[in-house]
Copies of this chain bind each other. A is one copy, B any other.
Amino acid sequence: MTTESLISEIKKKNSFLCVGLDVDLEKIPVFLLKEEDPIFSFNKAIIDATHQYAVAYKPNTAFYEAYGLKGWQSLEKTIKYLNENYPEIFTIADAKRGDIGNTSSRYAKAFFEDLGFDSITVAPYMGKDSVEPFLAFENKHTILLALTSNEGAFDFQTKKVGDEELYKHVLKTSKDWKNSENLMYVVGATKAEYFEEIRKNLPNSFLLVPGVGAQGGSLKEVCKYGLSENIGLLVNSSRGIIYASNDIDFAAAAAREAKKMQQEMNTIIDGIR
């Protein structure tokens, strides 16, 4: 998907909501467990119920790998379902991959070509030649970890490298990589006070923002400094939406929570017009 298509979908829906599909068999409604593929059945119901409020879906691969072959199959079915039924929706493989060049190419092929994701999250630690193989794919997006939402972000990411924090050094350095126009960045909602400076450095880049809701981040705070001219944000919510109910009404409850977030986003977008 082109960035333009993503922006147009955001404007059409007045939403920059990303729904995190982090499926845990212990948290989904019990009656789904007798289905042939409970994870896919759950995802399908959630997607069908929330798609009018969301512009992106983000399965985290850990939750699928945790169920081995079956989990991998559920992931394949989920992305196929999204691409066939909602091709206008941006898809993110939250995989946090990254390896030496020829190996990163393998991951890129797996997620972009074979599975058909629009984007993948990638860790920057191994540097340029570990990321560029992902950037080489046209109209595919590489979402580089910059400042993550967890406490551990303060262990290395905010440490000073020369006169700037490591995450800023990552932002700056990566702008010079080949096909860097295909880069987006992960910035945690729990680090709202950092958004002003990040936006100054990256006026146009899209930021994928986890950490709203269960992790404690505030949508308003993030938007205050994080919004760009083209919105430029994808704010993710996982648990707050997909586990709004674990009863027969789970999909309707998820839709209600997604709608609530979309309306908050709509109000914010209206406020800056």
Residues of A that sit less than 8 Å from B by CB: 22, 60, 62-63, 65-66, 68-69, 72-73, 76, 94, 96-101, 103-104, 106-107, 109-110, 114-115, 123-131, 145, 148-157, 159-162, 166, 169-170, 173, 210, 215
Contacts and interface: CB of A to CB of B under 8 A. Distances in A.
Contacts of A157: 125-127
Given A68-B76, A69-B69, A166-B156, A103 B161 contact: no
A62 B106 contact: yes
B63 A103 contact: yes
A167 B123 CA distance: 15
A204 to B, nearest CB: 23
A269 to B, nearest CB: 28
A100 B254 CA distance: 23
A240 to B, nearest CB: 14
A26 to B, nearest CB: 12
Contact of A69 (B76, B101, B124, B155): B76
B130 A99 contact: no
B150 A130 contact: yes
24 contacts: A60-B99, A62-B103, A62-B110, A63-B106, A65-B106, A66-B110, A68-B76, A68-B110, A69-B69, A69-B72, A100-B215, A123-B123, A123-B125, A124-B125, A125-B148, A126-B145, A126-B153, A129-B151, A130-B148, A130-B152, A155-B173, A156-B166, A159-B162, A161-B166
Q: Taking the full assembly, how many copies of this chain does it contain?
A: 2
A162 to B, nearest CB: 7
* A-B CB proximity, top 6 nearest: A127-B152, A127-B155, A62-B106, A66-B106, A129-B152, A100-B150
A19 B52 CA distance: 50
Contact of A159 (B62, B96, B169): B169
- Most chain-B Cβ atoms within 10 A of its Cβ — which of A109, A149, A157, A161? A161
A173 to B, nearest CB: 6
